[in-house]
């Protein structure tokens, strides 16, 4: 049986070492590589590999954050790699197949590979489901960590991770939501109420049944009538802040006064 593998590391040399050590092993096929956390999430969800060699310290998202993003959608077998021994304890707490401390030699690598193949043959994850679930909730006391930081968008056979902070506003049409950024508009399938519950309410404010705005992009508030406003956003778009959401209007006006 052949298993698909993804190598994730921000160092080209480190990726080359793993790829070289895997040469000649016909049971494992390297399908792709990733050089940062965001790219890793996209490629894991695109290829759905059986195995990932996952660096811990990377730009944009570290290895643990990558697991938080992918685990609800795909659960590969994980071998952590890092040059920093300080991450060893947390990596073992996540209980991956193994942990490789750089620089590792070929003997150590194949010891890890042997454990990996044994688990693959048994299709037995080493308690990782429970522990990644703990990762998903390990900072529940810190309010801002509960809110979405990125939104996964599928478009024309490709996947993108859009930073929430880059979204000027959301517009709903039934169960479809448009995500507006300065550069482009994306569409996802979800209800606006469901999405609203996962957004930071100090930044993202519901202004009508169909719209949520990012207050960081408000350029001007134009009074309309009956206590309503027209919101002018920095990108030139206009959104009505309707009377039914006057409580959020009052809260916003109090905040900036």
d(CA 80, CA 82): 7
Task: Tell me the domains of the chain and their CATH numbers.
Answer: 3-137 (3.40.50.2300), 144-256 (2.40.50.1020)
pLDDT of residue 1: 81
Provide CB contacts within 8 A for 46, sequence distance 6+.
Answer: 32, 158, 159
pLDDT of residue 179: 96
Sign, Cα dihedral of 108, 38, 129, 122: negative
The pTM (predicted TM-score) of the whole model is 0.59
Q: Kindly list the averaged pLDDT for each block of 10 residues, start to end, along the chain of length 257.
A: 93 92 91 94 94 89 87 88 64 62 86 85 61 49 60 78 92 93 90 87 92 94 86 92 83 71
pLDDT of residue 142: 36
User: What is the DSSP-derived secondary structure letter of residue 16?
Assistant: H
CA-angle at 96, arms to 142 and 106, nearest 5°:
135
> Could you read off the pLDDT of 40-96 as tens digits, one per residue?
999 999 999 999 999 988 888 888 889 888 988 898 988 888 876 655 555 555 555
């Amino acid at each position: 049986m052949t298993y698909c593998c993804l190598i994730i590391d921000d160092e080209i040399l480190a990726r080359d070492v793993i790829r070289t050590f895997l040469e000649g092993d016909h049971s494992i096929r390297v399908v792709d590589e990733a050089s940062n956390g965001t790219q890793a999430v996209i490629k894991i969800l695109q290829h759905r590999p059986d195995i990932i060699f996952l660096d811990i310290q990377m730009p944009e998202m570290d290895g643990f954050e990558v697991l938080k993003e992918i685990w609800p959608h795909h659960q590969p077998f994980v071998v952590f790699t890092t040059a920093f021994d300080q991450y060893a304890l947390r990596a073992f707490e996540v209980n991956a197949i193994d942990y490789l401390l750089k620089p590792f030699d070929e003997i150590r690598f194949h010891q890890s590979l042997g454990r990996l193949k044994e688990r693959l043959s048994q299709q037995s994850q080493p308690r990782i489901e429970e522990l990644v679930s703990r990762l998903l909730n390990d900072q529940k006391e810190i309010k801002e960590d509960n809110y979405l930081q990125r939104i996964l968008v599928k478009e024309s056979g490709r996947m993108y991770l859009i930073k929430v902070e880059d979204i000027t506003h959301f517009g709903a049409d039934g169960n479809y939501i448009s995500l507006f950024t300065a550069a482009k508009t994306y569409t996802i399938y979800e209800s606006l109420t469901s999405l609203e519950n996962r957004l930071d309410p100090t930044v993202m404010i519901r202004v009508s049944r169909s719209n949520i705005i990012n207050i960081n992009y408000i350029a001007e508030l134009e009074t309309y009538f009956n206590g309503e406003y027209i919101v002018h956003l920095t990108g030139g778009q206009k959104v009505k802040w309707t009377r039914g959401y006057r409580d959020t209007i009052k809260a916003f006006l109090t905040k900036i006064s």
